[in-house]
């Protein structure tokens, strides 16, 4: 089932077999110091307890499943699959580990690393969103193309990438699952990042559900619009002044409130109207 989700040509690069090892590939011992991290690894957080458990297992039993590498220089390799095993092997004090050497492009490396983590459900939502964003930008893929590569719908990719519009602090909450995807999607309706943080802290403190968060933000937006209308509403003095100016210039005059300033706008259908107004002001001056 997993292979049907891979991009074209990727199935040949993923290890096969019941034990996760490609039975046709040559396995060789490679020095850990000659192995470098996958620059396209989407996973940025590795659970400390899980890594310690894997280290202890490797100390006791050795590294049973080889990592997959690609050669970049003579005796230098980059990880394609198996960063946890590589890190834990270093923690365990190993000098060499078993590895399968494959040929693959940068694009295939990124796809493999992303798909492996997705299938194991190792990525948090922000890591997943960043990986999709990187595929779109570095390899000029469309959301539709990314969706086909990873076996998801285009709307799912779009929704994940939108998470990167959240304030960085809110992204941390989502990555640590302090906030759910439902909370995150609701917070996206707030364009102001400072407001996103304030609301996120508020709903975390009060342990609001997604539904309660939606109601809270809807009320917040309504109050904001109502407040904006109030601040933009001019009192009768300004309205009277606009009427007097209209009478004086023989043209319609509007006075608008924008933030903390007011603007006088005189309507002119043609340039002749403007000349009349200028002449009138010159006579009065």
Q: Please give the positions annotated as active site.
A: 83
Q: Could you tell me the strand order of the sheet in which 27-31 lies? A: 27-31, 96-101, 67-73, 76-81, 35-36
| Closest C-alpha to 122, from 67, 65, 44, 188 | 44
Beta-sheet pairing, 261-266 with 67-73? unpaired
* Structure tokens, 63: 């590294």
- Total Cβ atoms within 10 A of residue 170: 25
Measuring CA to CA, how many Å separate 156 from each of 1, 138, 162?
A: 20, 20, 10
* Structure tokens, 282: 């010159």
CA–CA separation, 114 and 141 (whole Å): 15
Beta-sheet pairing, 67-73 with 96-101? parallel
* DSSP 3-state of 176: coil
Strand-pairing partners, residue 99, are 28, 67
Torsion angle, CA of 106/112/118/122, rounded to 10 degrees? -80
């Amino acid at each position: 089932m997993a292979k049907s989700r891979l991009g074209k040509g990727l199935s040949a690069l993923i290890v096969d077999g019941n034990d996760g090892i490609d039975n046709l590939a040559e396995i060789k011992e490679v020095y850990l110091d000659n192995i470098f991290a996958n620059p396209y690894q989407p996973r940025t957080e590795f659970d400390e307890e899980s890594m310690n458990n894997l280290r202890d297992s490797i100390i006791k039993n050795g590294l049973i499943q080889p990592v997959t590498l690609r050669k970049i220089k003579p005796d230098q390799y980059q990880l394609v699959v198996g960063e946890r095993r590589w890190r834990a092997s270093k923690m365990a004090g190993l000098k060499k580990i078993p590895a399968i050497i494959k040929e693959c492009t940068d694009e295939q490396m990124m796809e493999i690393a992303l798909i492996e983590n997705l299938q194991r459900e190792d990525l948090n939502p922000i890591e997943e969103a960043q990986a999709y964003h990187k595929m779109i930008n570095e390899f000029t893929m469309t959301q539709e193309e990314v969706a086909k590569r990873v076996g998801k719908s285009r709307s799912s990719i779009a929704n994940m990438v939108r998470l990167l519009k959240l304030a960085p602090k809110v992204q941390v909450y989502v990555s640590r699952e302090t906030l759910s995807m439902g909370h995150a999607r609701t917070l996206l309706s707030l364009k102001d990042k400072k407001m996103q943080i304030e609301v996120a802290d508020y709903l975390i403190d009060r342990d609001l559900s997604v539904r309660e968060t939606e109601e809270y933000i809807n009320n917040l937006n309504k109050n904001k619009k109502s407040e904006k209308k109030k601040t933009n509403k001019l009192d009768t003095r300004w309205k009277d002044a606009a009427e007097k100016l209209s009478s004086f210039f023989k043209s319609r005059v509007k006075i608008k409130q924008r933030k903390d300033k007011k603007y006088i706008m005189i309507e002119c259908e043609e340039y002749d109207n403007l000349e009349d107004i200028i002449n009138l002001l010159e006579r009065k001056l």
